[in-house]
Amino acid sequence: MPSPPIHLYVASTTWVALRPGDAGGAIAGEHGGGEPDAAEWARIVQTLSTHFKAIGTVRLVLSARLCRFLVAPWVSDCFTGASIRASVMAMFAGHEVSDTSHHVEIDWPAYGQPVPAVAYPRALVETVRNALQTGGGRVQSTVASVVPVLRRYGGTLASTASALLAYAEDDGITGITLERGRLVQVETLSAQGHGLADATLWLSRKRFAFADDNALHWLGSAAPPDAFAGTLLPVQGDAPASAGHALVAACA
């Protein structure tokens, strides 16, 4: 019977890998960030191979800060796949996203509904994929952390008129705004943000953006900031070593 896929979570300068049910548990490390280094990722893959014995298939999960997100309004004269993609790419251009720099995936909506899209950094994804292939592995899928978090926890908020689901990652905080379970906005903040990007100020603003504190939800991948007022959604398992450990375990 084939082994389940390894879940490899990659943040700006860290990574965590876990194969569900594997007795060895999770393994974690750091990488240089910035422009991906093929030699460095080859060494990381060798570490994975030693830990898991055989790599096999891998589900690559990127932190939200490594990706770009857009929920584009429906444009009445864009109703074919090609025209919707062209409209989305035009809107993404203002976020330094192009076909060359990113691979854009669109969650095709019902007619007349907003168009959610996520842009994955090509250089990082291809570097990791090539290193895994050389080491005997294969990338089964690539997703932003937002995708498994919504799949696992978003359903609990589907009946809420408007809600915020926020959680810590290894490289910051991610906030997902939902209306009746439908994605409206994805925001990311650095753990060392200042000014309007400060987590305390951001959470204070969010309290004014929703009807009451019951609309605010924090996924317990790490302890919430002191400024958080709302509902804590616990993650399963033991106390995690880091937010990345909690996310990869919760979404595996």
- The answer to whether residues 35 and 101 belong to one domain is no
- The answer to whether residues 237 and 169 belong to one domain is yes
Q: Is residue 160 part of a domain?
A: yes
Q: Is residue 175 part of a domain?
A: yes
- The answer to whether residues 87 and 197 belong to one domain is no
CA distance 65 to 171: 7
- The answer to whether residues 58 and 110 belong to one domain is no
- The answer to whether residues 230 and 160 belong to one domain is yes
- The answer to whether residues 95 and 49 belong to one domain is no
CA distance 17 to 81: 35
Q: Is residue 71 part of a domain?
A: yes
| Residue 196 pLDDT grade (very low, low, confident, very high; cuts 50, 70, 90) | low
Q: Decide: 43 and 134 in contact? Cβ < 8 Å.
A: no
CA distance 2 to 20: 13
Stretch 50-68: mean pLDDT, rounded?
96
Range of the domain at 245: 147-250
CATH number of residue 32's parent domain: 3.30.420.40
- The answer to whether residues 218 and 244 belong to one domain is yes
Q: Is residue 155 part of a domain?
A: yes
- The answer to whether residues 184 and 236 belong to one domain is yes
192, pLDDT greater than 80: no
pTM over 0.75: yes
| Residue 193 pLDDT grade (very low, low, confident, very high; cuts 50, 70, 90) | low
Strands annotated E in 23-147:
27-30, 56-62, 68-72, 102-106, 115-121, 137-144
Stretch 86-96: mean pLDDT, rounded?
91
- The answer to whether residues 185 and 233 belong to one domain is yes
| Residue 57 pLDDT grade (very low, low, confident, very high; cuts 50, 70, 90) | very high
169, pLDDT greater than 90: yes
Q: Is residue 1 part of a domain?
A: no
Domain count, the chain: 3
- The answer to whether residues 101 and 37 belong to one domain is no
